[in-house]
Structure 1
Amino acid sequence: MLELTLPSMTCGGCARGVTAAIKAVDPAATVEADPAAHKVRVTTGASPEAVKTALAEAGFPPA
């Protein structure tokens, strides 16, 4: 499991965008987004680098 801090994820809409970005890399990924804590937990077969790149490109760069 990968846990990341996303300072720019602040609302439910952001959480949906984060989930969509991760699912674009790995459609089978499990995503648990917590906008209030600015955290996302991801279970994926994709590399951490691929997930981080997808998030950054979507406007949610990990801290």
Structure 2
Amino acid sequence: MATYSIPDMSCGHCRAAVETAMRELDPSASVAVDLESRTAEIASAAPAEAVRAKLAEAGYPAKAIG
């Protein structure tokens, strides 16, 4: 599992968009979004580069942290 900082997330729509994008990339992905800290913990079989690219495509550029 990797943690990503996603500064542009701020509401329930943002959460849904991030979760949808990850499930499009990897239907078995596990996504836990924390809007307060604007982070997401994502467990996916997809490479980190693909995860970041998919999030950016959805309008939520992300940076891996931790």
> What is the Cα-based RMSD across aligned positions, in Å?
0.7
CA drift of 1:21 comes to: 0.6
Structure in which a larger fraction of residues adopt helix = 1
* Residue deviations 1:4-35 (CA, integer Å, cap 9, x gap): 00000111110000000111110000000011
Cα distance in 2 between the residues matched to 1:44 and 1:30: 7
Runs of 4+ in structure 1 over 2 Å off: none
Task: Tell me the matched-pair count.
Answer: 63
CA drift of 1:62 comes to: 0.9
The residue aligned with 1:39 is: 39
SS in 1 for 2:8: coil
Cα distance in 1 between the residues matched to 2:50 and 2:24: 10
Q: Which runs of 5+ in 1 are unaligned?
A: none
TM-score after normalising by structure 2: 0.91
Q: Which runs of 5+ in 2 are unaligned?
A: none
TM-score after normalising by structure 1: 0.95
CA drift of 1:60 comes to: 0.2
Identity of matched residues, %: 37
